[in-house]
Structure 1
Amino acid sequence: MSAIFQAEDFHSVETGGGISGGIQASLSGRYAVALFELARDSNALDTVAQSLSGLKKALAESSDFKALIVSPVVGREVAVKTVAAVAKSMNLDPLTSNFLGVLAQNRRLGQLSAVIRHYETLLSNHRGEARAEVTSAHPLDATQITALQKSLRARVGREVALDAKVDPAILGGLVVKIGSQMIDSSIRTRLNTLAQAMKG
């Protein structure tokens, strides 16, 4: 395994540069900060983000991959070999591939989903964006996403990166979380066109 990551990277990461103390407070946050800082120093922020996006999609769509990540009975050696194979098959960049290997070696694969979320937040902060978690009853198309980003940008005064999720249980409309703020029916009239398009 490459020595890009060292064990100390995940135990004593310095704060600074706008890094959230809340992220630093958790184990997954410290892993995310270490990955983010190495990606930044290697001019690979977007490349790593793309690889993490692929992993996020795999976690959502592959029950086998998710089982590997969350299972407490998968041995260290098996986990390391399996994630190496996954990284190769998904054409992940070297930094992300190595990072997955470190998680497996440290028996921390269960932290992967949280690490991805934290990395996305760190990247949005680095870009000066707000990050919004948007839950809709049906998948949003490109036109709806653009309309929502425009409305949210007008509300928060800066660009907004969306993390879209689907939950049929909400039936219609949107639930939007930006940091600690939740926007729901209070802005449905402002997003009326979008809400009507989603009802179908």
Structure 2
Amino acid sequence: MAKLVSKTYAKALFELAVEGQMVDQILAEYEFVKDSFDEFPEFLEIVKSPKIAVEDKKNILVETFGEKVSETLINFFKILVDKKRSDVIREVYDDLSVLVDEEKGLVVARVESVIPLEANEIEALEAKLSNVTGKTVTIDNVINPDIMGGLVVKVGDQVLDGSVKHKLDNLKHELAEIII
């Protein structure tokens, strides 16, 4: 549910940024805010806390970021606070980044492997995935010993599971059907 909420707000902010021709500016400003929350997590907890009054939260945000980010972004944060959705403030940034990358034709593919991929393997896989998707793909190589071998590639909503674990699970399922 929270993911759907954050995507909805991210899309609304993205459309507003496109309309105002300030996509890169909004993303950079939001990154600044996100980095501030990362550096001071207790500050994010104040903004998310149901114990703090809505007006106090909005005032804190304006006082903290009012001179550092655009009025558009401040107003967006005020809306999140008014709608009691400040709990997704970090997730909205992540979803907004994906939308901006998609607009620019950039995609990050999550590739799970048992051991880190070599630079030449990453390059070859990026080229192959870029060719298939028609977009510029960069690889986020994640180490996952549970897959036992092979690769699991996630590009957007698509998953290509070439892991040994997946193949063994399929074989186990097929054998179970034969025995019955």
TM-score for the superposition, normalised by structure 2: 0.64
Q: Deviations over 1:24-59 (max 9, x none)?
A: x82222211111111001000000010111122122
Change (3 A) 1:30 1:149: farther
The alpha carbon displacement at 1:106 in A equals: 2.1
Match of 1:156 in 2: 130
Q: Does structure 1 residue 53 correspond to structure 2 residue 27?
A: no
- 2:87 pairs, out of 93, 104, 110, with 110
Contact 2:106 2:136 (8 Å CA) reproduced: yes
Match of 1:96 in 2: 73
Change (3 A) 1:84 1:37: same
Q: Which runs of 5+ in 1 are unaligned?
A: 1-22, 136-143, 187-200
Q: Which runs of 5+ in 2 are unaligned?
A: 113-118, 146-151, 164-180
The alpha carbon displacement at 1:94 in A equals: 2.1
- 2:98 pairs, out of 85, 101, 121, with 121
Indicate the RMSD between aligned Cα atoms, in angstroms.
3.5
**What count of residue pairs does the alignment treat as equivalent?**
148
Letter in 2 for 1:72: P
Q: Distance in 2 between matches of 1:64 and 1:124?
A: 30
Structure (1/2) with the larger helix percentage: 2
Bigger Rg, structure 1 or 2: 2
Contact 1:176 1:182 (8 Å CA) reproduced: yes
TM-score for the superposition, normalised by structure 1: 0.58
Contact 1:176 1:184 (8 Å CA) reproduced: yes
The alpha carbon displacement at 1:88 in A equals: 2.4
Match of 1:86 in 2: 64
- 2:21 pairs, out of 43, 46, 70, with 43
